[in-house]
Amino acid sequence: MQVSAAMTRDVHIANPEQTIRDAATTMAELDAGVVPVGENDRLVGMLTDRDIAVRAIAKGMGPDTKIGEVMSREVNYCFEDDDIDSVLGNFGDLQIRRLPVLNRDKRLVGVLSLGDVAVSATDGSAGPALAAISRPGGEHSQT
């Protein structure tokens, strides 16, 4: 199965100059834990609810802090025509639960989450990825 068959297509893109309050409001409205960040028609970062909690609030930053100050700038991504099994391997290797999805022109077309795969794939492929993602530590540990 290709990524395009499981990904979420309706994705809101934030601007790095917006505040984390704006981002948190958007996340609440969308019931999402992540917002892609774009500038000049390009993906420049990702902001998660965890980024807000650990990189902003825990360090004493207020709700008017700009997204660009706390977002993750190193963005891993996949393409809409990639095979889900290979992308799930990346989820485990990188210990992440979601990836922005780009078309071959490198334009954002969606987000693929582990939840999307769990709902769409009937072969149980999300289970091994979740086990790999959930191991302690890793490059994205913020402790």
Give tens-digit pLDDT for 35-55: 999 998 889 999 999 999 999
Domains of the chain (ranges; CATH) run: 3-133 (3.10.580.10)
Across 63-79, average pLDDT: 95
* 143 vs 48: which has the higher pLDDT: 48
How many whole angstroms separate alpha carbon 106 and alpha carbon 122? 29
* 69 vs 138: which has the higher pLDDT: 69
pLDDT at 27: 95
pLDDT digits (tens, 9 = 90+) for 78-116: 999 999 988 888 887 887 888 999 999 999 999 998 888
CB 90 within 8 A of CB 76: yes
Evaluate if residue 126 carries a pLDDT over 70.
no
3-state helix, strand, coil in the chain (%, to 5): 40, 25, 40
List the helix and strand counts (H, then E) for the chain: 6, 5
Bridge partners (DSSP) of residue 113 are: 98
Evaluate if residue 136 carries a pLDDT over 60.
no
